[in-house]
Structure 1
């Protein structure tokens, strides 16, 4: 009889648990493998889709890490995102990722312990600024990294990057100082690639400064790289030696090393290295058309890079063609909105500038008018206090002298009267009092037995709403008109009609005097300039024997 083995309850329980945990275990394994895969896609991309797919993955991972408060992982995600964005030319996005990572470190209570993370972020930020030609910020950022770096290898990388900035700026002496310092320390390094990098860069800078040690260092770096089969380093060494011979006018050797660099770029399978090597060979060609072509293509490439920098991410197939089209449309819409916003901002700024111009011009004009009025008042006071008073004192002393001709005293009295009238006509106006009453007193002051002065609606004008400059101008102009009437017109009747229309004051003056020839104006040009300075108008109407009319709008 055959018996079948039946599983015990314990076995069934463990089997059930294993079945339940297996998916989670598999997911964890897949997750780790996926992270490693996309990390390599960013640090060592091999196909065009690697970088955009890596960006997509770590963007989602960062969001998950932030939700689960896994700040350290989020910092790691952001650094990889920055590297990926930098490699595809999105310097702006790359910089934003670095700043976000630094903010996360700052927010952590253990932030001061994350030195290595900070050093790496600062170094990446310096690379971004260098690629954006923002050399001063790049140097500042590298200095921040150096201030906290404790590892020799980190310091070497950062100092080398800083020296590259000085090399870009053709500040070869500054670069030489750093490379010399690094060369003194290279014996402490265990990394042959770093040693050869330092020696090669030192030799390159020395060659630019025409120092005799240059060739020996360039050759030493080349030998070390050949020993370690460092293809990328060999490409750099051959490029530098080609340039060394080119500077020495030794075109033959320069071409030999440039061709070696081109051959290495083919082995490395790097288009950028190929382009650099071909460019060196083209520099050695004496055909002027080639140099003109180089200049034009470099100019176009630079302009294209600037124009397409924001859209560099679209060069890669991040998702399906449909999503790519939608992203392109969205980007166009954003750009269109930006253009509209910039145009609107420019228009608003233009309006502000125009408005400011007229406001300041109006203030300047008013200030000049006020200065004129103050000057008139000051002169009137000096005429009264100094000239008129001195004349009066002299008259008083002469009256007691019996030998002085009375005609002389009469002439001096006339001079005194004129100076007193000038002072009175230009004396200060107290605009804090009721202006309507002051103006009425002024006009009625010209009324006497021979001249009758009538005003209409003067008291109906809301003078308290009129600007002080306008009130001063009205007072002075009417004073000049009335004085001119008393001196020249022989009028017996004067009427002044006041009316407010909108924000303007209308004043119509009329007398029944002998009139005048308007081509001469009888000294009334001053009234025109007063009204014109306040953007008002004044119109004279008169002819001999038919009185005098004036229309004022201010």
Structure 2
């Protein structure tokens, strides 16, 4: 029992959907027929209303193929009503939708239909040259006989409008010979009717019979649009032969059919034909003037939407070209930026490498100095001390020799001390203070300012080592050569730089940078620092260090 209820529920659930889908298909077929072959005055208007709504629904559902189909039918309906501009706009919209699709090259039938309709609009707009071009474009891609028949017939109509009856006859005659291959009576009556009219213009006897045969078959098939064309052509046939009675008869029939179609363009055509039958010269003059004004207005407005479409396509290509140029420009900028970044990285790497290399060289120099100092102390000084000790026990050695050897030992020890390793793990401020106080004695006063205030813990070890050695060199130089009794050292921190100002009250000298001072300059320069000396005889010695 439960299973039966479930089946019934599913059936009831899906039934409305299936029913709705079938209703939609039936409605589309009904309104398509109302547009293609209208039989009531309201058919075209109702078809436009239905497919306008359906087009919006299909676009909302992104059903592009059905939207193109809707637009094509809307264009046909508007054209039959006489709204050429609206008809053109629908074609443009449809062509734009095709261009937006990836599979646009496969939509041949849609393109053929749209180009054919466009050619008809060109014809109605009195733009024969563009109409022929458009029909030829449609013929190039048409792959069905039915399509080719319609397009060739429409192309021949252009020649007929231009009074080029020979070219028109050539095409109509070719199609008439192929009529056995036509798929429906519509194509047969279309070709037969147009062939009959052209034959009548060229006074070919078969013309009247072909016109009558076409009308008879159209009446049989209840083709109201076709009957309108046949009656108009028969009216024209008798008018050409001055039989105004029959010409008026067929013209009135065409007018009645245009009322049935509720088409302003067909009605205008019928009224125009009736005016041609009127013998009043003022009416003929009025018609000639209105036709001239209408044609001029049509040409002035130039509302060919496909021309706009072509312009739009050119604009798209131009925009695409501009966009491509912008992309290329952005690529060039990106490449330039990348090249600049690589260059900056290269320059940065160079300076980093150079800095590391310089640092490594400085460290190597300090290590070498320390190694030499250790070697001087451990080997030379110790050996010298042993020799002195052994000679002191020898009574035959001159005391002057021992004094000289002691001097040599003292110098060796001093060299070792001056270049011995600095333990930077200790408080550097205290180490530097001990160094400077080591040069203080009863004759020399050493005064420092701001030494204890300096943030030594934030200063790199290489700078500390350089400062230590430079001050050691200055103080040693002072003790050996200056005869100074007063030395001042002022320390300052400005940004990342350390400023040290040295001054003593010694005898001064003519500045000549010997090995010691040269070595001092080299130490400071290796760390991108500067050291300046200022001295003269009798005015002491000054040095300014920035590191």
Task: Name which one, 1 or 2, has greater alpha-carbon Rg.
Answer: 2
Structure possessing the higher relative contact order (Cα contacts under 8 Å, 6 or more residues apart)? 2
TM-score w.r.t. length of structure 2: 0.46
TM-score w.r.t. length of structure 1: 0.46
